A and B are shown apart, each in its own frame.
Chain A
Amino acid sequence: MQFIPPILWFLLASFFAGIITIPLRSELEPPRQDLGDLEGMGQSVLIGSLGGLRALAADFLWLQTNYYWQQKNHGLTETTAMAVTRLQPDFPYFWIEASRMIVYDMPVWRFGERRSPPKSVEKRIRREQAESGLKLLSEAAEFIPDSPAIPAEKARIYWTVLDDPEKAQEYYKIAYEKPFQTALYARLRALILLDLGRKQEALDWSRKVLSDMNPDQNPVQYAILEEYVRDMELGEDPRGDTTVPSNPSPAAEQAL
């Protein structure tokens, strides 16, 4: 015993404890979280040890992200926004806001002084940023699989940026089927199906959603959806005289 340093005995005993608790550890350990993207080991060490103070650290880092966003600093905005999502992966807010910065703001920064670049260039840049945003949201789904906001945000990107209504309606369906069953996502899916010319499917979907809804819990949404079903049964567009483009802006989408 005297020829082996005591610290080594300590590590060996600890390793023995680690081996016999492997089955326990595999059941108890939390989901894997990639802190390796954070700059240097120093930040990983600090952040890994912060525990509940990570919430405060995330909030201050978010303020910093917004400062870089104001400066239109592409690199630092993205880096700090990613760091915030690592600190607080359970909050949909950070994932969604970070993806919105990437998808909607950064293409405009990339256009630079030329605010009206050639269409092909604009399309390519928007597509690249949209794919970055979608990748971020896919990562979010691993940490908060029950959040409807994440697939809904993906649907919005497919609908408004990538002009892919097929994928958009798929993701709105996924968003609706999460816990809390937000009626707005169901209605948006119905509208997209109408735009795709799948009127019967839109009607069947709306009827199914209506039958699942409790009118006392959400009377406004229930009434709107009831009217949608009535209009579709009569062969009319539930949007009536309001001309809604097939790719509405986020503001128009909110108004719906």
Chain B
Amino acid sequence: MKGLRALWLIARHTWVEVVLSRVFSIFGLLAAALVCASIFLTNFHFGSAEVRFINDLGQGAISLFGSILVVTLAAQLFFREIEQRTVLPILARPVTRSQFLLGKFLGTLAPILVFVLGILILLTLLLWWRSSSLEQDPSVNKAVLPLLLAEAWTSGFFQMLKFAVLGSMVFAVASFSQSFSYTVSMGFALFFASHLVHLAIDFYREGENLFSQGLAFFFAYALPDFRIFNEPPADPDFLKAILYASTYSLIYLFVATRFFQRREL
């Protein structure tokens, strides 16, 4: 229980740091502004229901700003403790390095969850308002609101899984990296690369020789496929998605704790 208490205290402290940080406030407000602005951009939707356009934009805001928050906050909070040497008194107590790292990870993820929930609630209100305003207009192609809301919340859940994997990747890199900028750069590089693993899969399937196929196979499976989280199907298998995300997250966190154990502070 002492271990859990230490974890909880570090996570709670990290939560407070994140919530008070300017990065979190700015990107949170930007995401909310983009979602609200969607009702003014509906003239630009073609061939789709207006409410579906609003939903798509909301999902885009969660994905884009959430990813930026995860990468920057994870790296910032980790390196701040090390650069300011505040990690030393923490580790002088009966707190293991693993507890410290996991506490930081959980404390970073919790506000991201609040961010996602906040945007989803805003999106729900917007979709409900727009849908009832459009009820009397038969010329407008309307999507069914309950289905759309289910889709929005399912997508939000999958985005949260993605943030958990991305966050654990960043912590893994941070655990052996010597600088904040390297960690952030690698974090974004891994973020983009994880969206493009399907190209490596295609290259592997079409490979002409053993060497290129082997190389393509390695890159195809060296990173998680973030398309799984960006494009959940109509009837998603939540359990398998959670298992997929958890496997990657646990392995990255294991790597992070192993490197952090050996790190000189």
Contact = CB atoms under 8 A, between A and B. Distances in A.
A29 B225 contact: yes
Nearest to A19: B221
Contacts of A32: 198, 202
Contacts of B61: 52-53
A252 interface: no
18 contacts: A7-B173, A7-B176, A10-B252, A13-B254, A14-B223, A18-B223, A20-B247, A29-B228, A30-B228, A32-B202, A33-B198, A51-B62, A54-B60, A59-B45, A62-B46, A63-B44, A92-B47, A94-B47
Closest CB pairs A-B (n = 4): A93-B47, A52-B59, A18-B221, A53-B60
A84 to B, nearest CB: 9
A6 B228 CA distance: 27
A16 B224 CA distance: 11
A63 B225 CA distance: 31
Given A52-B58, A62-B46, A45 B176 contact: no
Given A15-B221, A30-B228, A93-B46, A49 B41 contact: no
A52 B57 contact: yes
Nearest to B249: A17
A99 B233 CA distance: 27
A91 interface: yes
A14 B248 contact: yes
Interface in B170-206: 172-173, 176, 186, 191-192, 195-196, 198-199, 202
Interface residues of A, number: 48
Interface stretch (B21-29, B92-100, B126-134, B238-246): B238-246
B63 A53 contact: yes
Given A24-B244, A28-B244, A14 B251 contact: yes
Contact of A36 (B57, B62, B199, B224): B199
Interface residues on B, range: 35 or more
A178 interface: no
B56 A55 contact: yes
A17 B198 CA distance: 16
Nearest to A58: B46
A220 to B, nearest CB: 15
Q: Which of A20, A52, A91, A94 has the most CB of B within 10 A?
A: A52
A85 to B, nearest CB: 11
A52 B172 contact: no
Given A6-B259, A13-B252, A55 B228 contact: no
A20 B56 CA distance: 32
B225 A27 contact: no
B64 interface: yes
B132 to A, nearest CB: 22
A22 B221 contact: yes
Contacts of A30: 227-228, 231, 233
A49 B196 CA distance: 9
A30 to B, nearest CB: 4
A11 B222 contact: yes
Given A51-B60, A59-B46, A14 B252 contact: yes
A75 interface: no
A43 to B, nearest CB: 12
B237 A27 contact: yes
A195 B27 CA distance: 63
Given A15-B222, A48-B227, A56-B57, 13 more contacts: A9-B255, A10-B176, A14-B224, A16-B251, A24-B240, A29-B227, A32-B202, A35-B199, A49-B192, A50-B64, A51-B63, A52-B55, A55-B45
B230 interface: yes
Contacts of B223: 14, 18
A60 interface: yes
A77 to B, nearest CB: 15
